[in-house]
Amino acid sequence: MSDIATRVKKIIVDKLGVDEAEVTTEASFTNDLGADSLDTVELIMEFEKEFNISIPDEQAETITTVGQAVAYLEEHAK
């Protein structure tokens, strides 16, 4: 697992209060990990802080699974 994936997982476990084992690549924040709309906004914000980037809203809306988050951040993280 990449360093970015590890950091993403840690944020998700911390913010959503889920077990690490649940945070699979396919897991959807809302359908599988119990996030509501505000949780999702908070996750994006935490990714931005952790990786020191800004994720535009239209991009943020396409990030709905763990895998999508990791892929986006691997491409854009500085």
Partner 1 sequence: MELKRVVVTGIGALTPLGNNVDDYWNGLINGVSGADLITLFDASKFKTRFACEVKNFQPTDFLDKKEARKIDRFSQIAIIASDQAMLDAKLDKDSINPDRAGVIFGSGIGGIMTFQNEVSDFARGDGTPRFNPFFIPKMILDIAAGQISMRHGLRGPNFAVVSACASSTNAIIDAFNYIRIGKSDIILTGGSESVICEAGVGGFNAMKALSERNDEYKTASRPYDKDRDGFVMGEGAGVLVLEELEHALARGANIYCEIAGGGATADAYHITAPHPEGLGAKNVMLAALDDAGMKPEDIDYINTHGTSTPLGDGAELKAILHVFGEQAYKLNISSTKSMTGHCLGAAGVIEAIACIKTIVHGIVPPTINHFNDDPELDSNLNFTFNKAQQRTVNAALSNTFGFGGHNAAVIVKKFVA
Asked if 21 interacts with partner 1 (CB under 8 A), we say no
Asked if 50 interacts with partner 1 (CB under 8 A), we say no
Q: What is the spatial distance between Cα 44 and Cα 1, in angstroms, rounded to a whole number?
A: 20
Q: What is the spatial distance between Cα 8 and Cα 57, in angstroms, rounded to a whole number?
A: 19
CA contacts within 13 A on the Cβ side of 33: 28
Active site residue 3: no
Q: Closest distance between partner 1 and the C-beta of residue 29, in Å?
A: 13
Asked if 76 interacts with partner 1 (CB under 8 A), we say no
Contact residues: partner 1, CB under 8 A: 15-17, 38-39, 41-42, 45, 48-49, 54
